[in-house]
Amino acid sequence: MPNATIRDVAREAQVSVASVSRALNGHERVRPELRARVQAVAARLGYVPHAGARSLSLARTSVIGVVLPDLHGEFYSELLRGMDREGAAHKLALLLTVLQDGRGLNTLAALRGQVDGLVVMAPQLGAAELRAQLPAGLPAVFLNCVPELTGAALRVDNAAGAAAMVDHLVAGGACAIAHVAGPVGNVDAEERRYGAIVAAERAGVALTVIEGDFTEASGVAAGAQVARGAVRADALFAGNDAMAIGALVALKRHGIAVPAQVRVAGFDDIPLARLVTPALTTMQVDIAALGARAVQLLARRITAPAEGLVQVGPAEAEAIVPRLVVRDTTTETDRERQS
Amino acid sequence: MPNATIRDVAREAQVSVASVSRALNGHERVRPELRARVQAVAARLGYVPHAGARSLSLARTSVIGVVLPDLHGEFYSELLRGMDREGAAHKLALLLTVLQDGRGLNTLAALRGQVDGLVVMAPQLGAAELRAQLPAGLPAVFLNCVPELTGAALRVDNAAGAAAMVDHLVAGGACAIAHVAGPVGNVDAEERRYGAIVAAERAGVALTVIEGDFTEASGVAAGAQVARGAVRADALFAGNDAMAIGALVALKRHGIAVPAQVRVAGFDDIPLARLVTPALTTMQVDIAALGARAVQLLARRITAPAEGLVQVGPAEAEAIVPRLVVRDTTTETDRERQS
DNA sequence: ATGTTACGTGTAAACGGTTACATCAACGAC
DNA sequence: GTCGTTGATGTAACCGTTTACACGTAACAT
């Protein structure tokens, strides 16, 4: 038999199961000597409490579900990194679920019996769809979802970020901006598009939207349009860094100087942004912190009923404003001139 | 009460709990009509089986633990992506644990009661350390660990990959190779170093090792050494792409032409490798496939005892040979000449 | 009619923890 | 010497499932 149970420990230590439980869980009313004996036996037998049994008794699992859209790129590893860090602090493990196209619907419901709460990131799903699939009565925190959901919501203030970027471009002398937008239906993409349009209007500069889909390839296409003059612009602001980098490649290929002729900016500050030449100006989101904050909020919601203190009403929303990171694609630097 | 139990369903459907269980779990001996009625009631009540109770009864959790080193970069999202895909196919959920410096020791033991098996990736840990911490008797698959562990091992054949790269460089005319090695103690790094040294000897070309630590910064330093002539080389082979890219930056900064004066190669084929200019020649590992394969192997080990068919001896090792991807840093292309 | 078989369904015993409650010993107060 | 009181420990019920076994019924062979 591979796994020792609490009864094995009890027998071996010549005490009752109750005492073993108390001794190992740090209860008060246990003689220190007995506690030591129990701990010694437990260690010797390699006893580890059965998580299932425990969750049955305690009515909690100490596991939180993390629901993410199709994982790609370093964004998710950063997010998970932050979540894991915070989860460890609360003694919560992370159960990962990827919401791929077809599946995930039932998968999501099945999570109910398995976790104490959920962190859900699903920019491509509508509120109705999401609500329909989500287990009711399970604490949840939403990341960058459509805002009308009950439950705590945590979002990146995409509109504000996009506006800040447009302002930066305008301040640098841009008169005509091309915005390479992300896919329709993606909340992030739409908020950025909206923020850019509003800011451009307010600043009185022209803004043309080129449709993209967050892939580098669509950025290349957009860059080519600007290079060929199909879209007249002296600044190109892409809805994410991947597209901005694609645009950079296209512009370079067409012999357009960046930033001298066209300034380029992205969004997200992926590690790569720093490394391309010229280095990409972008909006930075501290993704790990975002993940950590989500878990923190969730942890609070999970323990709240017990403490009876924290308000867990439906209206707990928070926005993280991204930070402008100015690099070489919007300012002429020494390195740029020399190359 | 938020959650319906099997008894609620039984009462509501006017049958016994046993029938409910059988009806919902697709047992044979259930009248179709009764099955339908039970399913209807279960759906109406939003019944979801309690995972803990189930795991108690069945003695399995349908969860596998994934233990990874401190997450950084797209490598991990790709790996998780592959694991999740394969896990979903086997109806296994992924419980994520990051092995950070201090913690993880006890965390790892605590996993025992919680999962059916483990995928462990810990290039920085020795066999003894690892074995001491791992729950005994739990199926496990190791990714790029020191090879002497019991349990299935899956590794990237780093030595073969490094040798292939050296051969490629030599075939292209290199006479003196500088190898920027990764940190001492890291298995991947050491295997690559070893493979490079052996291949260079066999090919009869000089090879100088420059110590690095897998960071871009150490690549920059190494590139500078070659540029200044402190290390004489006409080809620079870095132990990973991050360092290769750092070296590229340094060489460019010193006005050294790549690949005309110095050829550069990396290892891993991170997405970024394709995007730098000139595009980086590197060894590609299909990371998602690696993750998927690991889960597949683990799933087999978990179900093996039940089937009594598959051999689960200690000696199940598999190596994935990376593929050489030739890009611009080792061959002069049109684009390179024009720039 | 009766025995056999097959099948559908119910009863109850696990599974491994936690914990309310009972018990018991030791002690001090009267 | 008796009676609380207190603190440490044991007993047993419960958490929600699964499933071996028991049971009742109907079809069929005898």
**Higher pLDDT residue, A146 or A324?**
A324
Contact B96 A98 (CB under 8 A): no
Q: Which of B66, B77, B253 sits opposite A77 (nearest CB)?
A: B77
Closest-CA residue of chain B to A85: B98
Query: Looking at the complex, does the CB of residue B245 fall below 8 Å from at least one CB of chain A?
Result: yes
Is A245 an 8 Å CB contact of chain B?
yes
pLDDT value of residue B334: 44
- A80 and B80 within 8 Å at the Cβ level: the answer is yes
Which CATH number is A63-156+288-321 given?
A: 3.40.50.2300
Q: How many CA atoms lie within 13 A of B295 on its CB side?
A: 28
Q: Which of residues 253-272 of A touch B (CB under 8 A)?
A: 253, 271-272
pLDDT band at B122 (very low <50, low <70, confident <90, very high): confident
- Contact A60/B at CB under 8 A: no
Q: Using a CB-CB distance cutoff of 8 angstroms, which residues of chain B are in contact with residue A112?
A: 3, 48
Which of A83-97, B135-149, B236-250, B264-278 shows the lowest mean pLDDT across its residues?
Answer: B135-149
To the nearest whole angstrom, how far is the Cα of B158 from the nearest Cα of chain A? 23
User: Which of B70, B74, B93 is nearest residue A74 as measured by Cβ atoms?
Assistant: B74
- DSSP letter at B90? T
Average pLDDT value for chain B: 85
Looking at per-residue pLDDT, the higher value among A145 and B132 belongs to: B132
- Give contacts of A 143-182 with B, CB under 8 A: none
Report the residue of chain B nearest A220, measured CA to CA.
B275
Inter-chain touch A97–B80, beta carbons under 8 Å: no
Please check whether residue B123 is in contact with residue B153, taking contact to mean a CB–CB distance below 8 angstroms. no
pLDDT confidence of residue A339: 39
> Lowest-confidence range among A93-97, A146-150, B189-193, B246-250?
A146-150
pLDDT at B265 over 80: yes
Homologous superfamily of domain range A6-49: lambda repressor-like DNA-binding domains (1.10.260.40)
- Whole-angstrom distance, CA of residue A310 vs CA of residue B331: 63
Residue A106: pLDDT band by 50, 70, 90 thresholds? low
| A73 contacts on B by Cβ (under 8 Å) | 74, 77, 271
With an 8 Å Cβ cutoff, is B126 touching chain A? no
Neighbours of B30 (CB within 10 A): 19
**Which of A50, A71, A137 has its CB closest to that of B80?**
A71
Residues A133 and A49: their CA atoms lie apart, in Å, by 32
With CA atoms as reference, report the closest residue to A194 among A184, A204, A247, A176: A184
**Which residue, counting CA atoms, is nearest to the C1' of nucleotide C9?**
B19
pLDDT at B94: 93
For strand D, list residues 92-121 of chain A whose Cβ lies within 7 Å of it. 113
Cis omega before residue A259 (within 30°)? yes
- Does B333 contact A at CB distance below 8 Å? no
Domain ranges in chain A are 6-49, 63-156+288-321, 158-285+324-338
Question: What is residue A216's predicted lDDT score, i.e. its pLDDT?
Answer: 84
CA distance B335 to B339: 6
CATH number of B63-157+288-321: 3.40.50.2300
For A:74-103, CB contacts with B below 8 A are 74-78, 80-81, 84-85, 88, 93-98, 100, 103
The CATH number assigned to the domain with range B158-285+324-338 reads 3.40.50.2300
Which nucleotide across the nucleic acid strands is nearest to B31, CA versus C1'?
C8
Asked whether A57 and A12 are in contact (CB, 8 A), the reply is no
Chain D: positions less than 7 Å from a protein CB are 7-12, 14-20
Distance measured from the CA of protein residue B252 to the C1' of nucleotide C4, in angstroms: 92
Assign A60 to helix, strand or coil. Answer: coil
Instruction: Judge if B63-157+288-321 and B158-285+324-338 fold alike in CATH terms.
Output: yes
What is the full DSSP assignment across B180-225? EE--TT-HHHHHHHHHHHHHHHHHT-EEEEEE--SSHHHHHHHHHH
- pLDDT tens for each residue of A139-177: 888 886 665 555 678 888 999 999 999 999 999 999 999
CB pairs A-B closer than 8 Å: 163
- Give B50→chain A minimum CA distance, Å: 5
Q: What is the pLDDT of residue B313?
A: 47
Give the span between the Cα atoms of B312 and B40, in whole angstroms. 42
Mean pLDDT for the stretch of residues B269-277: 80
Percent of chain B whose pLDDT exceeds 90: 40
Instruction: Let me know if A11 is exposed, middle or buried by CB neighbors in 10 A (0-12, 13-18, 19+).
Output: middle
